[in-house]
Amino acid sequence: MTPPIVPEASELGTDVDVHAGFPNAAVDAPENALSLDRLLISSPHSTYLFRIRGHHWEHVGVFDGDIALVDRALTPRYGDAIVSQNEYGELILQRWHEPTTGQYWGVITTTIHPMRHR
């Protein structure tokens, strides 16, 4: 990911002289910035990121190359998408169908699909 060359001055935490025509209240409010981390990850210690490989879930909008956020702290509900292991020890996507005594690695809470590729 290529970051912008110059970060917002307010993020740097230095004393910033804003030579504006009149006072800029926006400079003082970094804490309210919308954070994707906070939106998408409710339990950081139990959330892991995976890369989706394969095309068999495209009909539900999960594509090869997408990122999946997987939370190990959740208990699967009927219809959830989960990560589990097949008989070869490989990690696979599965739908959780109850009642079942299957194992699961974690529950997929969100997938991220880029609309524009670099």
Q: Is 107 in the site for another protein (CB under 8 A)?
A: no
Residue 101 identity (one-letter amino acid)? T
What character string, x for contact with another protein (CB under 8 A) and - otherwise, covers 76-105? -------x------xxxx-x----------
- Kindly give, in sequence order, each residue whose CB lies less than 8 Å from that of residue 47, ignoring residues fewer than 6 positions away: 41, 69, 70, 71, 72, 109
Q: Is 55 in the site for another protein (CB under 8 A)?
A: yes
Q: Is 37 in the site for another protein (CB under 8 A)?
A: no
Q: Is 16 in the site for another protein (CB under 8 A)?
A: no
* Contact (Cβ atoms closer than 8 angstroms) between residue 41 and residue 74: no
